[in-house]
Structure 1
């Protein structure tokens, strides 16, 4: 499968990325669905997999959360949505690889939906970028320009916006068509025929998210317990006033925290590498010994990264690989190879004995596995 972006990846990023929506007719030539409706229904029956069923009943909406034991018998007005399908269905990973021109930490997960005619989730907008790939069937999409729209909650689990009249894009998508929608552009889609859609979303943490999770780390590690001090305090008449020097001291209590770059950067690695959805981890039983791993690497046995595993390293932070919210001390060359390649060069890994212990631990936990 190849992704045909207008003008190529860099031209697309320069003209469209986070700027305006884009319809790419035939973006994936001769597209073949990596799964079918039955595969998706099977995933939605698993407790570990996040799924929703959205049903439209005239002006009313109903939302149910999986796991499911059965599905509606009606042939109209419902859709099944399953999150992080790339974590659970290996065949879907080829779709994720189409976006390997993007920073890995920005790519989130693959949501797949199956809709019967009329099925959809109503007009809404997202706060992140998304590529919607049309699979089996046909679906009509409308995308509006950025505009103030009233928020609606027809169901506690469904956030919509009021209908928008004018559309920048109004199209009936067919297999292989791709719709790119930047954050903040309202859109709605409903199936014309029974249809599969593949949505590749991108992470865009808010300042509030970062601050909240950084505070959690500070609490867990009992950091930044220093207190306000004023050894030069002087008598004053205006007891109700917080003076400018006092405000500046309070401000420094915060700025000193964010000047701690070592902790701040480590936090970024931990936070950005953490999977939002559960992984299909299968710890090794029995566990590999380091000697066994060394022999397999030297023999050139193919090593795969588990689908959905987020592995990254930070520019300027040496000898550290972040995997699923944890830091691992590894030689820089090994960290880069594991983060950048789905199937790393086993010869390179074998050439770094210092990597053997942490790598064995990662393999035993299921983040990487040898080809059987």
Structure 2
């Protein structure tokens, strides 16, 4: 099944990705929600799961927001209409939700962030707003009307008062009602306003788009860890200074050159992206490492279980370098020889693995050490009875 409908991947990437919205009718024929509204509300009672309730006419004023976990009493006190429950990172907890994201791998998998599910009663909405990332909005149940507005930016004004960002002005350009299985793609910074028509569920597939500040922080960490103390600011073309206290344009150019030199290495840039983009969405919930696993223990686990699954919290990516291949997992960097590339690609390009193929590919000590480390950090598990674990 292809979720772009009649659009080819090439057409979508060329004409729409990062550029303009597109509505895909019946993108997922006969789609059935993974969770009922009651099950979704049940997730919001859990301490570990990130949830919010937005009320258009709440006790704290218009567009009030509360963070979970919630209680059954919280739901009994909600009005009959105009409220929305948002459950973030559902793919972290429900393997079937993680499988749904596999249909969007025509975008690099390390760019995919999470699956958020929005349940709303009649009139429920989070108001007119814009996101700073690409998003696919898949209608899972019921109907939602989407109004599309203007492109926004850092100077776009927001309403004063609400704790969520509600646009002060919304300039509508299009309007569509989505039925189950319909999907709407929105590029970053495009204003949109979704309103539930009766009870409905919408699945939001969002993509990681780190800020420049995050990229610079990760780059700085890498540069500090790998640079020599002999690499310093230099001004070999210095001329006589009539105003010795002035930092002039040539000084700025010297600094720019020094910084640029540190970022000319493509391997470093890929390493920066690899570590940042594979960081766990909820690092505070990572399982504790209890015992050290030897390769023999891992080998036994794989011999006893024909299928192995990547844990839902684990994110993998890889890149090539002049000396071998770099593998990234949960923000960590592993450097392996070129001979391990087949194994690395298999790990990063899939979420479920055949044990026999893992064992056949793990012929070197480097590969065995990597797999043992991933097992030890609970990045693999053995599915039982269709995902029970």
Q: Provide the rounded CA distance (Å) in 2 between the counterparts of 1:231 and 1:315.
A: 35
Gaps (5+ residues) in structure 2? 385-389
Q: In structure 2, what is the equivalent of residue 161 of structure 1?
A: 167
- The correspondence of residues 173-252 of structure 1 with structure 2, limited to 5 A, is 173-219=178-224, 221=225, 223=227, 225=229, 226-229=231-234, 235-243=240-248, 245-252=250-257
Using the alignment, how far apart are the partners of 2:37 and 2:237 within structure 1? 71
Superposed, 1:12-31 pairs within 5 Å as: 12-31=12-31
Give 2:3's aligned residue. 3
Aligned counterpart, 1:363: 375
Q: 1:295 to 1:279 in 2, by over 3 A?
A: same
Three-state SS of the structure 2 residue aligned to 1:205 is coil
Calculate the aligned-residue CA RMSD, in Å: 2.7
1:87-134: per-residue Cα shift (whole Å, max 9, x none)? 111222232122122211121111111111111111011121111011
Q: Name 1:67's counterpart in structure 2.
A: 69
1:322 aligns to 2:337 (yes or no): no
Partner residue, 2:346: 337
Q: Give the Å deviation of 1:273.
A: 1.2
Aligned equivalents of 2:236 and 2:67: distance in 1?
Answer: 58
1:164 CA drift (Å): 2.5
Aligned residue pair count: 370
In 1, Cα distance between the equivalents of 2:54 and 2:16? 31
- SS of the aligned residue for 2:40 comes to helix
TM-score of the aligned structures, taking structure 1 as reference length:
0.89
Q: CA deviation at 1:300?
A: 6.2
Q: Distance in 1 between matches of 2:372 and 2:280?
A: 21
Report the CA distance shift for 1:18/1:248 in structure 2 as closer, same or farther (over 3 A). closer
Task: Provide the rounded CA distance (Å) in 2 between the counterparts of 1:47 and 1:346.
Answer: 34
Match in the other structure for 1:49? 49
Checking the alignment, whether the CA contact within 8 Å between 2:319 and 2:325 is kept in structure 1 is no
Structure 1 residues 211 and 232, CA gap change in structure 2 (3 angstroms)? closer
More moved, 154-163 vs 32-41: 154-163
Following the alignment from structure 2 to structure 1, what is the Cα–Cα distance between the partners of residues 63 and 30?
A: 35
**Structure 2: distance between partners of 1:338 and 1:155:** 47
**Whole-angstrom distance in 2 between the partners of 1:278 and 1:245:** 43
Q: Structure 1: which 5+ runs fail to align? A: none
Distance 1:197 1:77 in 2: 15
Is the contact made by 1:87 and 1:279 (CA closer than 8 Å) also made in structure 2?
A: no
Question: 1:79 aligns to what?
Answer: 84
Measure, in 1, the Cα distance between the counterparts of 2:251 and 2:152: 42
